[in-house]
Amino acid sequence: MAKMTLEELRNLRGSKKKEMTQRDGDKCAQIVIGMGTCGIAAGAKDAFDAFLDELNHNDVKDTRITQTGCMGLCFSEPTVEVAVPDMPRVIYGNVDAQVARRIVREHILGKSLVSDHIFDKPAQDIIK
Amino acid sequence: MAFKNYILVCAGTACESSKGVALYEALEKELKAQGADTEAQLVKTGCFGFCEQGPIVKILPDESFYVKVGPEHAQQIVAEHIIKGRQVKELLYDKNQSSGASADNIAFYQKQQRIVLRNCGVINPELIDEYIARDGYAALEKVIFEMTPDEVIQELKDAGLRGRGGAGFPTGLKWGFTKNAAGDQKYVVCNADEGDPGAYMDRSTCEGDPHSVLEAMTIAGHTVGADQGFIYIRAEYPLAIERLENAIGQAREYGLLGKNILGSDFSFDIELRLGAGAFVCGEETALLASIEGKRGMPIPRPPFPAVKGLWGKPTVINNVETWANIPMIILKGAAWYSSIGTETSKGTKVFALTGKINNSGLIEVPMGTTLREIIYDIGGGIRGGKKFKAAQTGGPSGGVITAEFLDTPIDYESLMSIGSMMGSGGMIVMDEDDCMIDVTKFYLEFTVDESCGKCAPCRIGGRTNYNILDKISKGQGCPEDLDKLKTIAQAMRKASLCGLGQTSPNPIMSTINFFEDEYLAHINDKRCPAGKCKDLLSYTVIEEKCIGCTACARVCPVSCISGEVKVAHVINQDQCIKCGQCFDKCKFDAIHKG
């Protein structure tokens, strides 16, 4: 994109805001992986690869994988947030490749939560 | 088919000990017995970090938060909540929580409040669009098109924002000095040279939300009249560097950095400068010297960088966390910001919580939160159920906070008054197994290594004190050593050139103050109460308890334990390297350590 004017920036913000809030309500499942140094050091890249591989393997098309920074739960890295339509949004901790595959099979496909790896979001989000 | 409810049972180690497992099994049985196992899924979760109230049960999707739940409550929870859809009022943490109220509203979750980390773990840090969607660069718009520079400075002053690098100097005041300083060229600098052992707040912020730093620096550029900014970051943060570079590229592409930002006549750009990881370069004058390409050594202040900084020009220099606060202050206003925190310390503070704590991690709490809340409510308590001994804040420049001060509200002044300091935000928790002399030695070794050597008090004083501590830890200390340590520490505080030397005696003064008995035990009794200082330790077999299982002899790496099967063993003290493996291995408590 070329350099923006004030108006263009405001328009972009409006449309992106809409897009991000819509994401929560749409039909698409979402996997967000914490990829700060702490996450990567604990194996977030392996988990990322395993997610991709398992999704491909099961021919899942309507799931989006994105990365984010540190969620703050460094003791349970790698951490992954999973949002499936009509299910509560949850955070998983200690997600290695094996757990990543379980999340795809049990949570994304099987619509049930994966025991032993669920954590709570550590803090409320101040921007609603 | 998705379940209607999800019952989350805390199975963290702390709750495990407070009957989490029995509760899980009871719930499992009840779900089956009442035919509700297709209605609700039972899930084991990690620690919620609220162990004093454990075991904890949370039911999704309505986020009911039950505390102190025992197996005897399982029947009621299933019958009432799962089958009839009615909350079990007497078990709710917040008894007034109405059905459907989210756990976000209960007090526990408000112990953390995210301003600096507002986007960390939420947005994709490599996409500027996601930052913009969360009101990114809206503060910059406001500053360029709606506010005068003096209004921005007044806003920061009213907000009460103080520097998060450690010293706590009011940010608005600092910007005011630079704005009013005469000069054709001014600079803005971000100090991302995070060097305290155990601290990683700034790294995580740069990695998780790089644009917040860029936006704030651009705001400062507009306010003080600078057109160039530098981020000084250590080369050992490759991911933070990559994400910052990527963010700078995107901001330039969008015209949020560069010439005529957003069509205005304001131009500003930012470059990275990589440091080699010298601790002293976190000191602002040394940092500026390093950016100029000189050896990173401090110079006496005043003049302060705000008036005479980079290449002799007026320079605003703030630390990453300070920067990340600024867009929110501009957007939500000084009144909002100053409503958070204590009388003298406003806003929040990010801590990297590490050490002997169950839930180590990156936390952000309002100023004035007590250490007890941080350690027990957020951190989930001490690992292995051990006793809390002290928390170290402020890194090599700070001191310890002991158990008697657990309820001190954390802000700049109260930490200073108990001989510690806010510092940049590393918080290392220590338990009864940590020796204070050992910890102090560790910090001193660090500052001795990192001393640039320019001034004698720091170069010689630090080394001498380290040698004395080393002697004490080896059981060769004498009663005069304590006074010697204190005298040298005082001289260093007064005579050192920069903050590194002035503050490096702090760990010594703080631990002598709170743990003098531990020093005396090392010096007079040649004993290390925590059992950490190897030279003062010996391992012996307690004959009456030893059953001769040979486990210790097999694990000993130097084969210095001898004895026949079913006969009490003996440790050869001359060969023992005091590794402690026999002590850990023995199942019969038959090895004495001390």
User: In this complex, which of B104, B112, B208 lies closest to A68 when CB atoms are compared?
Assistant: B208
Cβ contacts (< 8 Å) between A109 and chain B: which residues?
Answer: none
3 state SS of B234 = strand
Buried b vs exposed e over B226-248: b needs ≥16 C-beta within 10 Å?
bebbbbbbbeebebbbebbeebb
Compute φ and ψ for B196, nearest 5 degrees.
-60, 135
Query: B553-562: per-residue pLDDT in tens?
Result: 999 999 999 9
Nearest-angstrom CA–CA distance, A103 and A29: 12
Domains of chain B as residue ranges with CATH: 5-110 (3.40.30.10), 128-334 (3.40.50.11540), 348-431 (3.10.20.600), 436-523 (1.20.1440.230), 538-593 (3.30.70.20)
Query: B238-276: per-residue pLDDT in tens?
Result: 999 999 999 999 999 999 999 999 999 999 999 999 999
CB–CB contact B361 A74 (8 Å):
yes
Average pLDDT over residues B48-69: 76
3 state SS of B262 = helix
Nearest-angstrom CA–CA distance, A99 and B308: 55
Distance of alpha carbon A76 from its chain centroid, rounded? 15
Nearest-angstrom CA–CA distance, B138 and B331: 7
Query: B377-426: per-residue pLDDT in tens?
Result: 888 888 888 899 999 998 898 899 999 999 999 999 998 888 888 888 89
Report chain A's terminal Cα–Cα distance, integer Å: 28
**Which pLDDT belongs to residue B56?**
80
Q: Nearest-CA distance from B146 to chain A in Å?
A: 12
Query: B335-349: per-residue pLDDT in tens?
Result: 999 999 999 999 999
Model confidence at A125, pLDDT cuts 50, 70, 90, reads very low
Torsion of CA B471, B473, B478, B481, to 10 degrees: 80
Residue whose C-alpha is closest to residue B320's, from B169, B424, B427: B424
Q: Is the pLDDT of residue B105 over 50?
A: no
Residues 6+ apart with CB under 8 A from B370: B406, B407, B408, B409, B410
CB–CB contact A37 B204 (8 Å):
yes
Model confidence at B508, pLDDT cuts 50, 70, 90, reads very high
Of the listed ranges A5-14, B58-67, B184-193, B359-368, the least confidently predicted one is B58-67
Q: Comparing B594 with B163, which gets the higher pLDDT?
A: B163
Model confidence at B96, pLDDT cuts 50, 70, 90, reads low
Nearest-angstrom CA–CA distance, B514 and A118: 40
- Note the pTM of the prediction, 2 decimals: 0.86
Nearest-angstrom CA–CA distance, B357 and B380: 7
Predicted ipTM beyond 0.90: no
**Which pLDDT belongs to residue B310?**
96
Chain length of chain A: 128
Q: Is the pLDDT of residue A127 over 60?
A: no
**Which pLDDT belongs to residue B101?**
42
Compute φ and ψ for B57, nearest 5 degrees.
-125, 130
* Percentage, residues of chain B above pLDDT 90: 59
Query: B432-447: per-residue pLDDT in tens?
Result: 999 999 999 999 999 9
Instruction: Please give the structure tokens belonging to residue B76.
Output: 């009621």
Query: B358-374: per-residue pLDDT in tens?
Result: 888 889 999 999 999 89
Q: Let me know: does B170 contact B328? Beta carbons within 8 Å.
A: no
Best probe of the A interface among B45, B114, B250, B337, by most A CBs < 10 A, is: B45
**Which pLDDT belongs to residue A1?**
56
Residue type, B246: N
Cβ contacts (< 8 Å) between B67 and chain A: which residues?
Answer: none
Q: Let me know: does B364 contact B116? Beta carbons within 8 Å.
A: yes
**Which pLDDT belongs to residue B15?**
56
Query: A12-38: per-residue pLDDT in tens?
Result: 999 998 887 766 556 788 899 999 998
User: In this complex, which of A34, A70, A87 lies closest to B2 when CB atoms are compared?
Assistant: A87
The owner of tokens 């499992």 is B28
Nearest-angstrom CA–CA distance, B214 and B261: 13
CA dihedral (A74, A75, A80, A84) positive or negative: negative
Domains of chain A as residue ranges with CATH: 29-119 (3.40.30.10)
Q: Let me know: does B562 contact B570? Beta carbons within 8 Å.
A: yes
**Which pLDDT belongs to residue B99?**
43
**Which pLDDT belongs to residue A128?**
36
**Which pLDDT belongs to residue B107?**
47
Model confidence at B38, pLDDT cuts 50, 70, 90, reads confident
Q: Let me know: does B390 contact B401? Beta carbons within 8 Å.
A: yes
Instruction: Please give the structure tokens belonging to residue A42.
Output: 């604990």
Compute φ and ψ for B327, nearest 5 degrees.
-55, -35
**Which pLDDT belongs to residue B18?**
62
What is the greatest pairwise CA distance in chain B?
Answer: 89
Q: Is the pLDDT of residue B104 over 50?
A: no
CB–CB contact A113 B134 (8 Å):
no
CB–CB contact B46 A118 (8 Å):
yes
Model confidence at B109, pLDDT cuts 50, 70, 90, reads low
CB–CB contact B1 A87 (8 Å):
no
CB–CB contact B121 A10 (8 Å):
no
CB–CB contact A13 B378 (8 Å):
no
CB–CB contact A112 B3 (8 Å):
yes
Average pLDDT over residues B465-490: 95
Instruction: Please give the structure tokens belonging to residue B327.
Output: 């867009």
Cβ contacts (< 8 Å) between A38 and chain B: which residues?
Answer: 200, 204
**Which pLDDT belongs to residue B313?**
96
- Find the radius of gyration of the CA atoms of chain B: 28
**Which pLDDT belongs to residue B103?**
47
Q: Let me know: does B522 contact B437? Beta carbons within 8 Å.
A: yes
Distance of alpha carbon B159 from its chain centroid, rounded? 24
Cα–Cα distances (Å) from B7 to B15, B61, B364, in that order, read: 16, 9, 28
**Which pLDDT belongs to residue A19?**
81
Average pLDDT over residues B39-46: 82
Other beta carbons within 10 Å of A37: 20
Model confidence at A126, pLDDT cuts 50, 70, 90, reads very low
Cβ contacts (< 8 Å) between B253 and chain A: which residues?
Answer: 1, 3
Task: Return the H-helix or E-strand segment holding B10.
Answer: strand B5-10
Other beta carbons within 10 Å of B584: 11
Nearest-angstrom CA–CA distance, B110 and B233: 32
User: In this complex, which of B2, B11, B256 lies closest to A111 when CB atoms are compared?
Assistant: B2
Q: Nearest-CA distance from A8 to chain B in Å?
A: 9
